[in-house]
Amino acid sequence: MSGIGTLRRAAVGFLMLVAAPALAAPQKPVLDAAEAEKPAYLDTLKALVSIESGSRDSEGLATIAALIAQRLKALGGEVELLESADASRSPGKTVLARFKGTGTRKVLLLAHMDTVYSKGMLAQQPFRIEGDKAYGLGIADDKHGVALILHTVALLNKIAAKDYGTLTVLINGDEEIGSPGSRALITRTAADQDAVFSCEGSPVGQDALRLATSGIASVQLKVTGRASHAGSSPEQGRNALYELAHQILQMRDLSKPEMGLKLNWTIASAGSVSNAIPAEAKAQADVRALRMADFDLIETAVKERIQNKLIPDTVVEATLTRGRPPLAPTEAAKKLGAHAKRVFDEIGRPLSVVERATGGGTDAAYAALEAKGPVIEGFGLRGFGAHSNQNEYVALDSIVPRLYLLARLITDVSRDRAK
């Protein structure tokens, strides 16, 4: 009986092996072209990182925008440098390029060229490669994404994959400050696209795409009191700093992590000299939410809390300013994300498609406001240390897989094969 049992188990194992779907082989021309593109990609990455382009550095932003525009034009794009819709807040222009293909589908690629860093920091933190990492200011957020777009277009040109109707590239210079000068352009441009792919990166330990990101808002809190001499007559004053501290402490429990709603006080200031009771104090809170309606909940709660004051005769004012909207997963995005997983499987790599926001905002949310097609974030490289001044890097072994993934998704959407 034991021999028969062994034979049965072997037969069952064989049938399971035969029934299991085999992984599709990678498309060799695309993969070979991605491999060949890597050295040029690194050269471009160095060139981009070597230009300082803080969100309010008009000179640096003009320099990097001109370089990107020149590269896109050399690749065959019809290129425009568009002025900011809010130049007082964001001086950088937006690079918009359109590539005409032979098909009918429209695909939009997004990235941003601005960084959070102050002018002059490049001298202490130049581009460098150490082992399997490339370091530099803004390299993970989001200059690798700009380079990815440039070299994906170059890759498609080299393999003559122009099945799209229009491939549009939009690279803005004010993402780090909320995209005040480009958000309307992003929404308008995305409205008639069949797919939108945004090229922010993935965490260093995980290849991922994101179908959801948090919405971002801020609360501005202002307290007006009465100044007085801190030594001889403090009792005659109304200490705005005390009242501000009271307000912040009584609003420290407004977050609801279980529903993705977060409020954290991050900035505060009061007074101007040490020997005077401060007559004015201000604070600002960072707010994240998964639904636009949650901003209304926070606004209502804040307005209710400020009615409870510690210091009589003070005036407390609170204002909620809505920024980026949340990006919510759609059925079309889930379907396309599942296809992306299969494409990554072709090269033997796992890909996570994340459907719940983790806290970060994205310009992809502006694109999704009126988009008819799926919007997916996270096509960029794996990286680490965004907004840090020493440890920001991207993983070099993610260059080829990400070039392959983005090129495949563009061609598969264009050929109606992303099913």
Tell me if residue 207 is catalytic: no
Mind giving me the DSSP string for 242-258?
Answer: HHHHHHHHHTTT--BGG
CATH number of the domain that residue 407 is part of: 3.40.630.10
Q: What is the mean pLDDT of the chain?
A: 93
Whether residues 199 and 318 fall in one domain: no
Whether residues 175 and 79 fall in one domain: yes
Catalytic residue among 175, 207, 377, 392: 175
Domain boundary among 322, 342, 372: 322
Helices 28-49 and 144-158: crossing angle in degrees, nearest 10, is: 140
Domain of 408?
28-213+326-414
Give the amino acid at 272: S
Question: Exposed, middle or buried: residue 12 (CB in 10 Å: 0-12, 13-18, 19+)?
Answer: exposed
Residue 107: predicted pLDDT: 98
d(CA 174, CA 324): 13
The pTM score is: 0.87
Beginning with the edge strand found earlier in the chain, give each strand of the sheet holding 393-395 in spatial order: 128-130, 133-135, 393-395, 382-384, 202-203
Whether residues 257 and 348 fall in one domain: no
Whether residues 407 and 276 fall in one domain: no
Whether residues 96 and 163 fall in one domain: yes
Is residue 79 within a helix (H) or strand (E), and if so which, with residue range?
strand 78-82
Express each pLDDT in 286-304 by its tens digit: 999 999 899 999 999 999 9
Band (pLDDT 50/70/90 cuts) for residue 1 is very low
> Out of 165-169, 371-375, 384-388, which region has the weakest mean confidence (pLDDT)?
384-388
- Residue 417: both structure tokens together: 């094969």
CATH number of the domain that residue 283 is part of: 3.30.70.360
Whether residues 223 and 148 fall in one domain: no
> Span 387-414, mean pLDDT?
95
d(CA 109, CA 98): 10
pLDDT of residue 193 exceeding 90? yes
d(CA 231, CA 235): 10
Whether residues 126 and 240 fall in one domain: no
Tell me if residue 114 is catalytic: yes
- Residue 22: both structure tokens together: 């085999």
Domain boundary among 292, 322, 352: 322
Whether residues 177 and 71 fall in one domain: yes
For the chain, percent of residues with pLDDT exceeding 90: 87
Catalytic residue among 114, 174, 280, 412: 114
Whether residues 179 and 259 fall in one domain: no
Band (pLDDT 50/70/90 cuts) for residue 388 is confident
d(CA 223, CA 244): 6
- Asked, for residue 8, whether it belongs to a domain, the answer is no
**Is 357 or 155 the better-scoring residue by pLDDT?**
155
pLDDT of residue 215 exceeding 60? yes
> Rounded to the nearest 5°, which phi and psi values hold at 213?
-140, 160
> Span 158-167, mean pLDDT?
98
| 3-state secondary structure (DSSP) of residue 108 | strand
Can you name the residues that pair with 205 across neighbouring β-strands?
none
Residue 20: predicted pLDDT: 37
